[in-house]
Amino acid sequence: MSSSQKRFTKVGTDIEEVKRLNSQSGLSYNEIKILLAQQYLKQKK
């Protein structure tokens, strides 16, 4: 597949656009969990 061809899901979602938007969205769910756990452990000391 060449880079000029867009990939879509069965319902018409542009896969590359979703990936691009996700990369700009900030922290992921797991990153937030890790951050909160680290802050909790610091407070507990």
pLDDT in the model for residue 6: 85
The pTM for the full model equals 0.49
CA 36, CA 22: separation in Å to the nearest integer? 21
Q: What is the pLDDT of residues 1-38, one digit of tens each?
A: 455 688 999 999 999 999 999 889 888 899 999 999 99
Domain boundaries defined on the chain: 1-45
CA–CA–CA angle 31, 36, 24 (5° rounding)? 30
